[in-house]
Structures are given as structure tokens and as C-alpha cells.
Amino acid sequence: MTEMEGAPLQSDGPEPLWRLAADAILHEIATGKLASGARLPPERDLFTRMSISRVTLRRALQSLVEEGVLTPSHGRGWYVSAKVPKEFPNTLESFSETARRLGLTPSSDVLRAEEAPASLDEAEELSIAPGATLFHLERIRRLDQVPVAVDTSFFAVALFPDLGRIDFRNASLFGLLIDAGVDLARAETTIEARGADPALARHLDLDVGKSTLVMRQLIVDSAGRPLLSSTIRYAGDRYRLRTSFSRAGKAAVPRVPLPRFKA
């Protein structure tokens, strides 16, 4: 059993104590202090060290089970899942992959799925000729039928001809491109907070001006060639982005946005 460092938790912001406790355990895993397959210290040690109640600790542990990070063993304790790496990778994961990893059912309402010539800005972003044919896909993304994001993407039709026949209400764009041999290697990403405009508020059942998380990605191949541009606007109260940072010389540990709603 691995010893776990820690200090009493203090919540001076909006984060509940159980979430802070879960994040503290995640940090131990991300930094390698708790290896894959390791057993966590006894619950009494954990909640005493963090100065939280057993109920709060149990909620934190259960949330990590739901995320696939921990595995409970009746009468023996809690173990780090064998599938969790020593350090979380910079994972480029599709919406569908994230949903299924978390045990949720993804689906979409298709707002746009059509070919159109590339504008000057679009052509510059993808390093293609202006007027080249792009495929535009815009969807309301749902988890267990709850709308959580609006996803707008475009890419050169040459990557995957004849997409017009695909039913994108359930199909994964990433899955189709990867199966076709497209090298989706990594994403250059920017994230910012924006208020919901009337159209987005309507799609996500939000009040106009409600905070949203806007994630813009330019996905490139292994050689750095741009392939796909995507803008995903998440409902601010239904998704969270959790990131762990380490000191210089050690890799940062970003994590994909996680749903925080009750369906």
C-alpha cells in the first residue's frame, strides 16, 4: 500500500469538499505517488488527513469510480484502476469516447451537415486553397439526452468523401475519420468563457448570457498539417475542465472536460 501525502482541505471557493478530495487523490495518481493497481490508504487515514467526514470522502471516492479512475474491492479497500497510466496523457478524445468511458450515452441533434467552399479565413486555418470544398458539421451534443454542448466543425472533403450519407445523430466523426486512416495526432486548443447568445441558449436550454466554456481546437496530423477545425461550446454548469500542472521539466497533466450534471 502506498503512503499518500496530504494536508487538511479548505474550500474557499465554489468547489465542494468532496470534489477537492477527489482532485487531491487524482493529483497523487497523476504525479506517480499512487501507481496503477495500488491500494489507497485506509479510509480513516484519508478522511483524518484531509479533515473531512467519511461521507464526504466516500462521495469523492465514488466519483472517481464513476470516472474509471478507482476500482472498489469489497472488504479490501479502493484501488487505482489498472487502466489509469502513471501520468494522465494529453488525450485527444472524441465526445463519444468520453461519454462511453464515463458510462453515458452520447447522441446529437444535427443542425448542419453540408459541403461548402472554404472562405479565406477557413482556407488559411487549414492551409488549403480558398474555395476548396469543406464539409461543415454542427451538432447539439447530448449525454443521456441532456444537451451539454454545441459542436461546430469543418474539414476538407478530401479527407472523407461522401459524408452526406452518414447519420450524424449517432455517428462519431472522429471514429469515421480514424477508421478511414486519417491521422488525428493532436489538437492545438484554446479555452475561454463566453456568455450564451440567444441561439446557443435555445439549443442548450440556458438563459441568454449564461456562462459557457468555449473550446476551439485545430487538429493536426503527426507532421503538424492542419486537418480539422472545431469549436465546442459547453454549458458552463454541465461541464468542467480539470487540469493538473507540474514543475518545469515534468509534463503537465490536462484532462478532458467532464460532465457535471444529473440526467
pLDDT tens digits, 148-184 = 999 999 999 998 887 878 999 999 998 889 888 999 9
**Residues 6 or more apart in contact with residue 246 via CB below 8 angstroms:** 30, 31, 252, 253
- Residue 131 — left, alpha, or beta (φ > 0 → left; ψ -120 to 50 → alpha)? left
**Residues 6 or more apart in contact with residue 146 via CB below 8 angstroms:** 238, 261, 263
At 1-56, the pLDDT tens digits run 444 555 577 655 556 888 888 888 887 877 778 888 889 999 999 999 998 999 99
Pick the more confident residue, 9 or 106: 106
104: enclosing H helix or E strand: none
Which region among 238-242, 254-258, 259-263 has the lowest average model confidence (pLDDT)? 259-263
Q: What are the two backbone dihedrals, phi and then psi, of residue 157, each rounded to the nearest 5 degrees?
A: -60, -30
Sheet-wide strand order for 211-220:
106-117, 133-143, 146-156, 226-235, 211-220, 186-195
Average pLDDT of every residue of the chain: 82
First to last CA, the chain: 36
Task: Output b/e per residue, 69-97; b: 16+ Cβ within 10 A.
Answer: bbeeeeeeebbbbeebeebbeeeeebbbb
Please give the grid coordinates belonging to residue 79. 484501488
**Residues 6 or more apart in contact with residue 11 via CB below 8 angstroms:** 17, 20
pLDDT band (50, 70, 90) for residue 88 = very low
The Cα–Cα gap between 207 and 196 comes to 7
The reported pLDDT for the residue numbered 250 is: 45
Pick the more confident residue, 262 or 247: 247
